[in-house]
Structure 1
Amino acid sequence: MSDPSTPTPMPPALGARVLAVTSGKGGVGKTFLSANLAAALARRGQRVLVLDADLGLANLDVVLNLHPKITLHDVFTGKATIAEAIVKAPGGFSVLLAGSGMVEYSRLTPEVRDEFLGVIRSVMPNYDVLLLDTGAGISDVVLFAVSLASEVMVVATPEPTSLTDAYAAIKVLATQHKRQHVRMVINQTARPGDGRAITSQLQQVLDRFVTTGAGRSVRLIHLGDIPVDPAVREAVMRRQLLMVNAPGSPAAMAVTELARKLDETVISRADGTGN
């Protein structure tokens, strides 16, 4: 039997661009970014589905203040169809929620692998963008979800522990999954330019210690920063989207710019390798 965590390239079918949002450690704003980025992309006219790929500790429903009656668990067990599990979220996009505490799905068995792959293949033709909100770290479930994406966004904060864990995650993506490039989003930056400097420092370390299967260093693409902004905490505490609660705030404007860059360099381009 093959290793269930082995990367599974998605078939070159027409449909959504699959983008994974991941992180080395939890608590860096990954799910917050996934939800608000989806809203920003929807404003640009994209049909967006956010799939909660953190099968063991899902919390996208909490961020969006949704109380789903049907989740991925019901789809996996045959109790409901995928169409029944997809719900509209505030902000003009759709979500497919996993449900919290799904212990049986915290390990990547061949069954979970096949079910998850089947769900993604099924929804791809109906959307322009499929955002995979993965778990944090380098578990087999996280790495499998990331392997299904054409593009990976690693979210980190300027804190040393976050950057150390981001480096570890990128190293695995480069060495085991042969990723040639990874997009970086630095959250909670204090000053303009901090994220670009942090990305450059990470690149220097990767150039020195990590090579891909082709013998080249993985290339980090600085996608953008999200500044420290009190409006973020307020939106999180209210369980509202920042893009809805405070669309003119500095952080919301930064997310809007991230969406523009993704739309112009990844989603609307065939090769997806633009800066």
Structure 2
Amino acid sequence: MSDALSPQPMTPNAAPVQAGPVAGARIIAITSGKGGVGKTFVSANLAAALTRRGQRVLVLDADLGLANLDVVLNLHPKITLHDVFTGKARLEDAIIKAPGGFSVLLAGSGMVEYSRLTPEVRTQFLSVIQALTPQYDVVLLDTGAGISDVVLFSVSLASEVLIVATPEPTSLTDAYAAIKVLTMQQQRQHVRMVINQAARPGDGRAITSQLQQVLDRFVSTQSGRPVRLIHMGDIPADPSVRDAVMRRQLLLVNTPGCPAALAISQLANKIETALLTPTA
């Protein structure tokens, strides 16, 4: 991994790509440096695991241009976030229950006008998040992949960031690039990581440690200290995952006892303990 990628400067007329975390429910942005690493799979199954633990959970499909949360959950919504943005439907009518018992707000796929962060999209998205957060214990933002302005704005609304990566070199290189941009543009002091499709126990912790070394060398926060990566767990490579995805079912519903499902349950436990349990 090199330090070749630096944040893209915004043009003078560009809409800001960050707004700061929204108060209310704990908002966790689940993102990735590249697509195809299982980010939406993790978002959906993590939501189911947190719901089983008694949390009130909403997953918002924040990939406004290429939404696919509906495919993963086998849902066919009549109303989407696009309808809310255009004034054709009320926000409360666009929220539906997913098979795992959590709430979802789905975005329409292929909406080119929402693939760029115009001032209108920024205002509409922010107002939706502000309206929703008081109603839930945790809101998971299933963002798009990469470092587009829409992705960065979505992540900026979250108090915590969970990066999903796989052990593949391209995934790790892109994860590093995303972490670097989040550190420099949003002054993130820490980023949480989960390694999907891990081949062996302990792989994810070793990978996170390697990424930390690169960040220590090349990237500093505004305080002058390197951003801290927090390893939240590994999800092992498991044939049950592909079976659940092909069936368009939640893994925690399809095969709840498989190794990947157990790993997601452990991830939910860590998130609840670290982020959702009130401190005295």
- Does the CA-based 8 Å contact 1:5-1:143 persist in structure 2? no
Which of 209, 230, 238 is the equivalent residue of 1:200?
A: 209
Are residues 45 and 163 of structure 1, via their aligned partners in 2, closer, same or farther at CA, if it must alter by over 3 Å? same
3-state SS of paired residue (1:176)? helix
- Hey, what's the Cα distance between the residues in 2 that align with 1:104 and 1:222? 36
Cα distance in 2 for partners of 1:230, 1:42 equals 24
Aligned equivalents of 1:5 and 1:248: distance in 2?
44
Q: CA RMSD in A?
A: 1.2
Equivalence for 2:41: 32
Partner of 1:212: 221
Report the CA distance between 1:269 and its aligned residue: 4.0
Matched, 1:5 2:19: no
Q: 1:91 aligns with which of 100, 109, 125?
A: 100
Matched-pair contact (CA < 8 Å) for 2:22–2:157: no
Alignment of 1:226 onto 2:242: no
The code of the aligned residue for 1:7 comes to Q
- Which of 187, 199, 221 is the matching residue for 1:190? 199
Give the partner amino acid of 1:79.
K
Give the C-alpha shift of residue 267 in structure 1: 1.4
Map 1:73-92 to 2 at 5 A: 73-92=82-101
The question of whether the paired residues in 1 share the 8 Å contact of 2:64 and 2:109 is answered with: yes
Identify the residue that residue 141 of structure 1 maps to in structure 2: 150
Query: What is the count of residue pairs matched by the alignment?
Result: 269
Give the AA of the match of 1:5. P
Deviations 1:11-42 (A, max 9, x none): 54xx3100000000000000000000000000
The one-letter amino acid paired with 1:144 is F
Query: Deviation per CA, 1:44-81, whole angstroms, max 9, x where unpaired?
Result: 00000000000000000000000001000000001101
Deviation of 1:3 after TM superposition, in Å, equals 4.2
Q: CA deviation at 1:268?
A: 1.5
Post-superposition shift, 1:4?
2.0
The alignment status of 1:243 with 2:243, answered yes or no, reads no
**8 Å contact kept, 1:5–1:141:** no
What percentage of residue pairs aligned between the two structures are identical? 76
User: How far has the Cα of 1:6 moved from its partner?
Assistant: 3.5
Give the partner amino acid of 2:20.
P
Alpha carbons 1:153, 1:185 under 8 Å: kept: yes
Is the Cα contact below 8 Å between 1:48 and 1:93 reproduced in 2? Answer: yes
> Where do 1:50-89 residues align within 5 Å?
50-89=59-98
- CA distance in 2 between counterparts of 1:203 and 1:143 reads 21
SS at match of 2:186: coil
Q: Aligned AA for 1:161?
A: T
TM-score normalised according to structure 1 size: 0.96
Residues 65 and 202 of structure 1: is their aligned pair in 2 closer, same or farther, counting only changes over 3 Å? Answer: same
Taking the aligned partners of 1:149 and 1:186, their CA distance within structure 2 comes to 20
Q: Offset of 1:5 from its aligned partner?
A: 2.9
- Deviation of the 1:99 alpha carbon: 1.2
Residue deviations 1:234-269, cap 9 Å, x none? Answer: 000000000100000000000000000000001124
**Distance between the aligned counterparts of 1:52 and 1:257, measured in 2?**
23
Q: For structure 1, list consecutive stretches of 5 or more residues without a partner in the other structure.
A: none
- Aligned amino acid, residue 179 of structure 1: R
1:171 equivalent to 2:187? Answer no
1:215, distance to aligned residue in structure 2 (A): 1.1
Q: TM-score, normalised by structure 2?
A: 0.94
Query: Is the CA contact 2:192–2:231 (under 8 Å) kept in the aligned structure 1?
Result: yes
2:162 matches 1:153 = yes
Q: Which amino acid aligns with 1:243?
A: L
One-letter code aligned to 2:106: L
Give unpaired runs (5+ residues) of structure 2. Answer: 1-11
Q: Give the residue type in structure 1 aligned to 2:21.
A: M
Look up the equivalent residue of 1:180 and give its one-letter code: Q
